[in-house]
Structure 1
Amino acid sequence: MQFSNEHQLIKEAAEQFANQHLVNNSEHWAQAGALPESLFHDLGAQGFMGILLPDSFGGANLDYQAYALILEGLAYGDAACSTLVSVHNSVGTLPIYHYGTHEQQSLFLPGCASGKQIAGFALSEPQAGSDAAAIKTKAEKVGNEYIINGAKQFITAGKSAHLMIVIATLDDHHHTAFIVPTNTPGYIVDKVEKKMGQEAAETVALRFENCRVPESYRLGEEGQGLKIALSQLEAGRIGIASQALGIASRAFDCANQYAKERHTFGQSLNEHQHIAFLLAEMATRLEAIRSLIWRTAVAKDAGQPVKQLAAMAKLFASENAEWICRQAIQIHGGYGYLQDFPVERLYRDVRVTSIYEGTSEVQKMIIARSLSEHA
């Protein structure tokens, strides 16, 4: 795939950062269950924490093609890091940029772009995952404040984030968005979840108990909450598709190298036709994933509707990335099942990509509806 000179430099910068800062630390961070705060400062210095934000707020002022390349490169080094960077750059900061007042933008975005502050997004609830309209967290207007009560589930960076975009309901049906600093009294981390993979990207259950937020921290108008939340999901899906690609690329490289070095029955593994054909199919699927993500990012940058394309990219990337990681383990044989080899963790890390930011089933619903509307 041919890139412009600028995009080639961005791609190389992300890959260099991953090799220097992420690859050799990924396993340690997974065992520790957290990423170091200094990492986000380093990411901010590279422009990776304000990818889509304008330079007036300290951002890198890049496009979605660059966003995809950066997420792919970071995911190659560490999936957990790429998850936090994806959430932060899409559903964490973009709602403030697109719907916030100038005062809100000036207060929050420079810190986010520098990596000194991490932004998160709290929509899902214990009873409302894919069905966003079913959320029950409530906000009550009292004077010049809103009092938030309720619970959120599966929230990325809910403990380490400095600010959270929270969607709550007014009068049981007016979904409204709020910027909630995480040091606000009543913002409570109930539980840090133990997960199958991506252990360093903490996922938490949140509780809000009489959490008071000033009216000046309401994001957009009352009743705009779902519009604000859903409008950023295309960016999130491009990010997760790119993440899946990065994880799968690392798994493929591990498998390809192992197949060259491992000898059975008097020849290297990659000289056995079945293994050679399997590697060929893995490489082909990687290029197909990359092409679909790139087409989506180019269309997004051109201002074209990409709801269907983003769903296709996320669906195709996540499902095929998991397949590629599974085959990488198979090529390693018994060693692939051991934690001594990266492919074991890569398979656990990639599994969630077909679940968060909309399950594969939800992506199929979006695609099917789009096809029906344009039939």
Structure 2
Amino acid sequence: MNFRFSNEQELFLSKVRELTAKEVAPIAAQIDKDASFPFNSIKALGANGVMGIPFDKKYGGLGMDNLTYVAAVEELSKACASTGVIMSAHTSLCSWPIYTYGNEEQKTKYLIPLASGKKLGAFGWTESEAGTRTTAVKENNHYTLNGKKVLITNSHEADIFVVFAKTNFEDNSISAFIVERGTKGFSVGEAEDKMGVRGSSTAELIFDNCVIPEENLLGNLGEGLKVAMTTLNGGRIGVAAQAVGIAQGALDSAIEYVKNRMQLGKPISHHQNIQFVIADLQTKIEAARFMTYRAATMKDLGEDYGYMASMAKLFCSEVAMEVTTKAVQLFGGNGYSKKFPVERMMRDAKVTEIYEGTSEVQKVVIAAHMGIK
């Protein structure tokens, strides 16, 4: 596979880097400290097409590919993992299933404002116990939803949610629905006080006799599991890209530090043991990056990419934890201080091993692909 970016891709990614330097990096530490959402940054990204990279232009997107999209997630995450996950969850988990399974009316009504960055999206899948207990009962020309979703990214700021609920109580099949903020019976709980990615809000979605019009059924009735699993496959590539970005950002910071940290009259980067650590970490980051790019390219080619997405997420998240932990070590005592970004990056990296399927879940998926069940 050829992972060389075209001139068009390079130009766009250069714009993303400029936006990151101007709008994202300067506030990364503050939104982590305050657990505050970066409204202005997300608005700027939307105005420049970053919130709709892989979607057709007629639906408000840029009409580019998934490879470009994950490279953009990586660039954002180098500076701010919170911004990376906000953009990734919006694109992969909310906009993509509407783009893939929505009818023309739904795409016009919901995808265009999402892809153009005028509205923000979220994905309501996770519940406090295994399985789906949220229910959707058909009554005349609407469905009534009852239940709760937990740990939902973009929960407090999203305008449009893709939500999953049980619609058949005999075979326990589920269906997907598009839910708008402000719908009667729908509310969002208190934000979680998280270890990392603190600039993105995470909270419960609460449905209490929430009435959803039947035209907001996404895809076919009873095929919600298919919608969810294919969506999560793509989302895992986004998480892998986040992990690569966090790792590269941490190592870049560590390299700058060791070049300028003086001991006995010379930079500590002159010590061969430090050079060996940096060489090993950069090698692992490059391997992680190309696994992510391969998964994105397979998706662009219409190939079965689910297992590769799981391998990329598994490996990249582990690399991110290793790199950020060793980056803190390279800073010495300063690495433990919030004056430097690597301690934040280490906290941010941990969640990439957890959300959108833990590392253990990814191993089950990979083993199943290999015929081991």
The TM-score bracket by the shorter chain reads over 0.9
Matches of 2:38 and 2:267 in 1, distance apart? 40
Matches of 1:231 and 1:75 in 2, distance apart? 24
Matches of 1:49 and 1:3 in 2, distance apart? 20
SS for the counterpart of 2:302 is coil
In the other structure, the counterpart of 1:166 is 163
Residue 368 (structure 1) aligned with residue 370 (structure 2): no
Q: What is the TM-score when the length of structure 2 is the normalising length?
A: 0.96
Per-residue deviation at 1:265?
A: 3.8
Given that 1:40 and 1:116 are in contact with CA atoms closer than 8 Å, whether structure 2 keeps it comes out as: no
Per-residue deviation at 1:146?
A: 0.6
In the other structure, the counterpart of 1:251 is 250
Residue 3 (structure 1) aligned with residue 12 (structure 2): no
Amino acid at match of 1:148: L
**Among candidates 28, 43, 46, match of residue 44 of structure 1:** 46
Amino acid at match of 1:163: I
In the other structure, the counterpart of 2:26 is 24
SS for the counterpart of 2:283 is helix
Matches of 1:157 and 1:234 in 2, distance apart? 19
**How many residue pairs end up in the alignment?**
369
SS for the counterpart of 2:5 is coil
Matches of 2:337 and 2:253 in 1, distance apart? 14
1:87-142 deviation line (CA, Å, top 9, x unaligned): 111111111111111111100111111211111100100112xxxxx110011111
What RMSD over aligned residues (CA atoms) do the two structures have, in Å?
1.4
SS for the counterpart of 1:208 is strand
Per-residue deviation at 1:266?
A: 4.0
Matches of 2:58 and 2:117 in 1, distance apart? 16
Given that 2:23 and 2:44 are in contact with CA atoms closer than 8 Å, whether structure 1 keeps it comes out as: no
SS for the counterpart of 2:144 is strand
SS for the counterpart of 2:331 is helix
Residue 140 (structure 1) aligned with residue 169 (structure 2): no
SS for the counterpart of 1:23 is helix
Where does structure 1 differ by over 4 angstroms across 4 or more consecutive aligned residues?
none
1:206-238 deviation line (CA, Å, top 9, x unaligned): 211011101111111210111111111222111
**Among candidates 124, 129, 133, match of residue 126 of structure 2:** 124
Per-residue deviation at 1:373?
A: 6.6
Q: What is the TM-score when the length of structure 1 is the normalising length?
A: 0.95
Amino acid at match of 1:223: G
Q: Percent identity?
A: 39
Amino acid at match of 1:198: V
In the other structure, the counterpart of 2:291 is 292
**Among candidates 14, 17, 22, match of residue 15 of structure 1:** 17
Given that 2:42 and 2:83 are in contact with CA atoms closer than 8 Å, whether structure 1 keeps it comes out as: no
Residue 325 (structure 1) aligned with residue 324 (structure 2): yes
Per-residue deviation at 1:171?
A: 3.1
**Structure 1, unpaired ranges of 5+:** 129-133
In the other structure, the counterpart of 1:179 is 178
Matches of 1:206 and 1:294 in 2, distance apart? 33
